[in-house]
A and B are shown apart, each in its own frame.
Chain A
Amino acid sequence: MNRRNFLRVLTAACATGAGISRAQESGMASRGVKPQPRGKLSGLPFHAHFTDVAAHAGLRAPVIYGPPDRMDYILESMGCGVAFLDYDNDGWLDIFLLSGTRREGPVEGATNRLYKNNRDGTFTDVTEKAGLTRQGWACGVTIGDYNNDGFDDIFISGWPQNTLYRNNGDGTFTDVTEKAGLLHAGNRWGTGCTWVDYDRDGRLDLFVSNYLVFDFDKIPPTGKDPRCDYKGVPVNCGPRGLIPERPMLYHNNGDGTFTDVTAHSGVGSVPPGFGLTAVAADLDGDGWQEIYVACDSTPSLLFHNRGDGTFAELGLQSGLAVNEDGSEQAGMGIAIGDFDLDGRLDALKTHFAEDTVALYRNTGHLGFDDVTMRSGLGVETRYVSWGDGIVDLDNDGLPDLFWVTGSVFPEVERKHPEFPHKSPRVLFRNLGNGRFEELLEEAGAAIAEPHASRGVAFGDFDNDGDLDILIMNMNEPPSLLRNDVSGSGHWLKVKLVGTRSNQSAIGAVVTLSYSGHKQAQAVMAASSYLSSGDRRLHFGLGAAEAADLEIAWPNGTRETFKGAPSNHLITIKEGSGIVARERFGS
């Protein structure tokens, strides 16, 4: 080889570039995290077993959300929530499913749907009779009795408008959005929403997070903007590169109307972000509820309730805004629960693929530590993750972690099969030592079954003493995972009825003491991903046959109860004690 040839070879081989990071301008925040290796399984039996009974139960209509095989716009990709509620107060959970539509025009049968529980494992679609037929881009749902008349009302966020349905108490609902003063000017994309009595006046106020400024005519569809690319495949644009929004807070005037207090409360003074799920709970135990908002690719927000009608945004100070490296993540869903049984409410936030979820341990005084990696959750980074829960699925007294998954870029799997459009559910069993292990096969085929899922609600629809799971699947019927728990784990359900506090008791925190453990749970109007679950709190007790309760009511008063027997649903009325005990389940 002569000198000139050698030069040519080297010139071709040695580029100056040294691995320049070219993160996408558009798309969602992902850290490109590699999963941690899976350790040896504990080998402990898992006593929960899930079967998808949706079709048998009569939940056969698909939830329409954009085209079935592609997602040209981000609006088509984000999906919507689901709810368990008891709209007719018969003691059995009914189901409310949100729906989207398609850009090209109305789709027959695409509507939000209300299913009445027939108390035999099946449901009847009562949407039309209830006056809830509506087609559009619904996103989030929050359930609560905003007018304290004893019946649960429904607020739905969406694009381009939100909707408030008042429960008439006779099986029907009335759209009172405009009359209530909740119709906003212009088009907005409301996402997370939650009832919250932030000023403790006994009436439920309303918080709504907004995602981004969306307009079909102004945002390029898939393939039209070369910057909208994932793994070399053209995909829908956003959220980065699009215009973020601010959340809103409405004060309940007590006469069926609301006043926009976004500016006065301080909620409107935060920088714009891509807000998704919003949850309200008293995270620092001072008797006033905070509002935590999962933001997608911008720092998540924690509104600390100052107790004077205003909030201070303390996301960074608290540790809940970003991960332990100080990087924002693509926040989708939020679960609140007490995984380490120290009587404090912890948080679980879900994110994009190639990233972990974030598990935040409450260390007190509104401080949270990101314990994701040290708790063993770093083994799972494969999927885009959405609705989630910190829930005791096997009644062993240790809350487990569950979330659903599904891609926002169905086009990508054709080139990269490792990023599937439909993917399985994720379940981590709580080992009780601050660590979790992922169960891939042990909890039934319904867990491993792949879907493109979004919202999730947890509740005991068949009143058998365990938690079942309702899941929204994009352009498919929903999944209803019936849980059949074996083993000898006991449980206790607590239903609260407010009197001085709001009737739904939203914002209350119940702390249960059993077997040397202390577990806190909050009564919430929304959580998971844009969803609303059973407000009857479910505590697995393991071997304990009784438990002591402490209730912190939303208005600030506290009550305690000793020796509540296991395997019962107890109803506690504020100021009147236990007003009902119902034994059900095996």
Chain B
Amino acid sequence: MRALVLFLLIGLGTSFSQSGQASVEAHVGRGTRLMQDNLFEAAAAEFEQAVAANPQDPRAHFQFAVCLLALGRNDEARRQFEQVQKLAGDSRYLEYYLGRLDLLSNDYGAAIRRLGSVAENPPFPDTAFHLGVAYVSAGDVITGIKWLERAAKLSPNDYRIHYRLGRAYSSAGRDQEAARELDLYTRLRDEHKNNEKDVRDCAGALQNQPLPAAREVCHRMFDPNDPEKLTLLAQLYGDSGAFDDALDPLKRAVQLDPKSFDAWHNLGVTYFRLQQYAKAREPLERAVALRPEFYGSVVLLGATLYMLGDDDAALPVLEKAHRLNPSDAQTAQVLEQLRAKQQKK
């Protein structure tokens, strides 16, 4: 969900009216952050205020709709998506979300039409999964299997897809394939549970044991080929203040997955916390490029530039951070100082 929200912020573009623009941006920024923390109710309140501040802004309606969908308030979500459609016209994203809502309301025919219309050029990788589920639910198991197979290729480690595919094979009487998929599902599900256990053990060890002993426990999480796991391991180290230990996993993670926002952001934060500002700059720039609306990365990049003495570069970045989170008094104070300095030049 986190990735989707921010991706859509870029994808849809913006059409702010001048009046209320700052307010909309602030509410959307806060709402986005709240969604990233899974605080959907609070996020919905922010997006609702954004919509109220500028009812003609499709981005506010869109974000509100995505949030409502996450809350299971499906009828309201549909109304907001339809409002976006009125204001900004059709898009692949709208077809995707409306198709998912059709699926949730058991309107399989409509779900197949909508999701099918964007499946060859899908807005999100799970489009094939939802389309497959729609076909299976509609009774067309053969076509459903085709799309679920495609979904499994796109997300080979998602146990939910293999579960659905296994059940679809079973319904079609393809017992050997069903057994294979359900075995795979079981293995992936077990791995997922083991990973959760490793995370709990590592976090517990970092909390309760000396660092050398905790390192031994946490080493179980070190998978040199899994960027997500490496990032998670680094986050655990970071949470406990062991920033030196976070560096290697994060460096490996960004090598493995240069498009991982989490990895770049955390690498930047880690260097920042180690006061290695010159090294923090590039990872934070990469993070901001990947998620320009994420306040945490933007403000840290601004702060890094400020700490490096590059005030000219810091000013616009901190201005953006302030737009994203106007309640940050410290940033406002620094901005005032920087602006005053600029005026003196």
Q: Which residues of A contact B (CB under 8 A)?
A: 1, 3, 6-7, 9-11, 14-23, 25, 34-37, 39, 316-319, 322, 324-326, 363, 365, 367, 369, 373-374, 378, 434
* Cross-chain contact A317 with B170 (CB below 8 angstroms): yes
Most buried by B among A1, A35, A367, A374: A1
Sample of 6 more A-B contacts, CB < 8 Å, known A18-B262, A23-B200: A1-B330, A15-B239, A22-B199, A37-B76, A316-B182, A318-B170
List, in ascending order, chain B residues with CB within 8 A of A9's CB.
Answer: 330
List, in ascending order, chain A residues with CB within 8 A of B159's CB.
Answer: 326
* Cross-chain contact B266 with A16 (CB below 8 angstroms): yes
State how many angstroms separate the Cβ of B259 from the closest Cβ of chain A. Answer: 16
Contact with A along B262-288 (1 / 0, CB 8 A): 100110011011010000000000000
List, in ascending order, chain B residues with CB within 8 A of A17's CB.
Answer: 235-236, 238-239
Query: In the complex, which residue of chain B has the Cβ closest to the Cβ of A1?
Result: B333
Q: How far is the CA of A493 from the CA of B160 in the complex (A)?
A: 43
Most buried by A among B40, B166, B330: B330
Query: In the complex, which residue of chain B has the Cβ closest to the Cβ of A363?
Result: B171
Q: Which range holds the interface residue count of chain B?
A: 35 or more
Contact with A along B170-214 (1 / 0, CB 8 A): 110000001000100110010000001101100100000000000
* Cross-chain contact A14 with B160 (CB below 8 angstroms): no
- Which of B45-53, B93-101, B109-117, B298-306 is near enough to bind chain A? B298-306
List, in ascending order, chain A residues with CB within 8 A of B299's CB.
Answer: 10, 14
Given A25-B200, A316-B166: A19 touches B36 (CB 8 Å cut-off) = yes
B38 at the interface (CB under 8 A from A): yes
> How would you classify the secondary structure of chain A's contact residues: helix, strand, loop or mixed?
loop
Query: In the complex, which residue of chain B has the Cβ closest to the Cβ of A369?
Result: B137
Q: How far is the CA of A36 from the CA of B77 in the complex (A)?
A: 13
Q: How far is the CA of A9 from the CA of B265 in the complex (A)?
A: 18
* Cross-chain contact B334 with A1 (CB below 8 angstroms): yes
List, in ascending order, chain B residues with CB within 8 A of A369's CB.
Answer: 137
The A-B contact count (CB < 8 A) is: 114
Given A6-B303, A325-B160: A19 touches B37 (CB 8 Å cut-off) = yes
Given A6-B334, A10-B303, A317-B182: A367 touches B246 (CB 8 Å cut-off) = no
Q: How far is the CA of A318 from the CA of B236 in the complex (A)?
A: 39
List, in ascending order, chain A residues with CB within 8 A of B266's CB.
Answer: 16, 18
* Cross-chain contact B306 with A3 (CB below 8 angstroms): yes
List, in ascending order, chain A residues with CB within 8 A of B200's CB.
Answer: 22-23, 25
* Cross-chain contact B164 with A22 (CB below 8 angstroms): no
* Cross-chain contact A22 with B167 (CB below 8 angstroms): no
* Cross-chain contact B232 with A14 (CB below 8 angstroms): no
Q: How far is the CA of A581 from the CA of B230 in the complex (A)?
A: 72
State how many angstroms separate the Cβ of B241 from the closest Cβ of chain A. Answer: 10
Find B239's partner among A11, A20, A37, A378 (CB 8 Å cutoff). Answer: A20
List, in ascending order, chain B residues with CB within 8 A of A324's CB.
Answer: 164
Given A9-B330, A16-B246, A37-B72: A21 touches B36 (CB 8 Å cut-off) = no
State how many angstroms separate the Cβ of A537 from the closest Cβ of chain B. Answer: 30
Find A316's partner among B74, B105, B185 (CB 8 Å cutoff). Answer: B185
* Cross-chain contact A16 with B37 (CB below 8 angstroms): no
Contact with A along B287-309 (1 / 0, CB 8 A): 00000000010011001001100
